Structure 1
Amino acid sequence: MHLTFLHDPRGECVTVIRRADGAEFTLSSYSRKHRVPHDLAHAVTERELGMPDGIFGCIAAGVVFESMQQTAGKKRHDAKVRSARVLKAPNSIGISEAITSVIHEAVEKDRVTPYARIREMWGVTQPDPCPYPDADLDRATETLRELSHRWQANSDPLVFPWPKRLQAAGAGR
């Protein structure tokens, strides 16, 4: 899968998603109040922490969220069934949302990586200890910080490759 973050003239962000199956979608972001788009924060957090079943790993596996519009490629005959099947499988969307929000806020407010807050958010939704070492959390925060600067510095599209290994289970055939 391949993600491209585009500046929307209204001050928002539009993400173009090109999946491996040839389908292309747009995903509008509603984060005008932020310097960095929240969808970019999700992509960075999920990729850097290796979350195969966060928002973008689920999309890679075939999920089509209501906020997505297909713009190219053949529409799957079983798109709704496939989406439901992937989303019914255990996934990390909730914890991804929680951790992404903490990392996003740290970057927005020019703060250091908030290790304790991330572990606290993990503990709200998960009974086991947070599996992400400080180095991984730092990498996610610093990558988002770097991309935030690039996003703000110019209006060029921000191209973001998505690793094939980060795809949610449950898609079947």
Structure 2
Amino acid sequence: MHVVFVRGSTGSAVATVHRADGVSLQLPGYDRKHKVPHDFAHYATERALEMSGGVFGAIAGGGVFADMRVVGGKPRHDAAARSKRLLDAHRETLSLAELLAGVVHRAVEDGSTEKTPAMVRDAWQSMGTGPFPWTDEHVEDAVRILTELTGEWEAQGTVRVTWPDHLTAPLPEQPGIKRGRRGRA
């Protein structure tokens, strides 16, 4: 999936997402008060921590958030139902992605990146989700990616990135639907 961030009319970042299914969506940003766009923090954190169920993995898998709009291509006839099923299935990971991306975002925005691994571990523990599954290097990679995106944004006002296919959120099976061959009587 390809994502292009540009400066919107209000000064915040607007992402145009070009999914593998041929549908293009626009994701508006609401962060013009920050030098680091929040959606960059989602991209950097979710990519570095390999979170397929975060914002960008969910979008790649067919999820559409309420503030998004289709700007190209033709969605499937059942796109809304599939999106709801996918977003519902990944609700916990989406919440975690919001929390962790917020920590990374704040650290890069404030220039206090040396404590980011500890801050991310603390945020993880606040959700009570067990042992921390990443290394300090994973978190530092998120900081590095976000810092690079921010530098490119400040220099050019446009950033192009690719979301890896292997980090696409899986669509859960629809309840009540049997797959496979019918038995013979």
Match of 1:122 in 2: 124
Q: CA deviation at 1:32?
A: 0.5
- What CA distance in whole angstroms lies between the structure 2 residues aligned with 1:144 and 1:88? 27
Q: Which amino acid aligns with 1:159?
A: R
- What CA distance in whole angstroms lies between the structure 2 residues aligned with 1:63 and 1:89? 11
Q: CA deviation at 1:171?
A: 5.0
Match of 2:73 in 1: 73
Instruction: Give the alignment's TM-score, normalised by structure 1.
Output: 0.94
Q: Which amino acid aligns with 2:120?
A: I
- What CA distance in whole angstroms lies between the structure 2 residues aligned with 1:41 and 1:112? 13
Q: How does 1:1-173 map to 2 (within 5 A)?
A: 1-90=1-90, 91-113=92-114, 114-155=116-157, 157-170=158-171, 172=173
Match of 2:181 in 1: none
Q: Which amino acid aligns with 2:136?
A: D
Preserved contact between residue 61 and residue 171 of structure 1 (Cα < 8 Å): no
Q: Aligned residues, how many?
A: 172
Q: CA deviation at 1:19?
A: 0.4
Q: CA deviation at 1:9?
A: 3.3
Q: Which amino acid aligns with 2:25?
A: F
RMSD (CA atoms): 1.4
Preserved contact between residue 36 and residue 108 of structure 1 (Cα < 8 Å): yes
- What CA distance in whole angstroms lies between the structure 1 residues aligned with 2:106 and 2:16? 24
Structure 2: runs of 5 or more not aligned: 175-185
Preserved contact between residue 62 and residue 171 of structure 1 (Cα < 8 Å): no
Structure 1: runs of 5 or more not aligned: none
- What CA distance in whole angstroms lies between the structure 2 residues aligned with 1:9 and 1:67? 16
Instruction: Give the alignment's TM-score, normalised by structure 2.
Output: 0.88
Q: Which consecutive segments of 4 or more residues in structure 1 shift more than 2 A?
A: 170-173
Q: Which amino acid aligns with 2:106?
A: E
Quick check: which has more Rg, 1 or 2?
2
- What CA distance in whole angstroms lies between the structure 2 residues aligned with 1:83 and 1:75? 11
Matched residue SS, 1:147: helix
Q: CA deviation at 1:154?
A: 2.3
Q: Percent identity?
A: 39
Q: Cα deviation per residue 1:117-143 (whole Å; 9 max; x = unaligned)?
A: 111111122331111100110011011
